[in-house]
Amino acid sequence: MTAELPRFLDFEASGLGPDGYPIQVAWSAAEGAVTECWFIEPEPEYGWALEEGWDTSAERVHAIPFATLIEQGKPAAWIAARMNEQLDGQAVYVDGGACDQVWCRQLFAAAEIEPRFVLADYWELLLEILPASQTRRSGWQYALQDAAWKRVQRNSGGRRHHADTDVRYLVELYRIAQGRAVRPR
- The structural domains of the chain, with segments of one domain joined by +, span 7-179
Nearest to 183, CA basis, from 141, 129, 127, 150: 141
CB 44, CB 62: distance < 8 Å: no
Q: What is the mean pLDDT of residues 161-167?
A: 91
Q: How many CB atoms lie within 10 A of CB 27?
A: 27
Per-residue pLDDT, 2:
63
pTM value? 0.90
* Domain covering 7-179 in this structure, CATH number: 3.30.420.10
Q: What is the mean pLDDT of residues 124-143?
A: 82
Is pLDDT above 80 for 1? no
Name the helix (H) or strand (E) containing 5: none
CA distances from 20 to 48, 68, 169 (A): 8, 17, 23
Question: Where is pLDDT greater, at 136 or 18?
Answer: 18
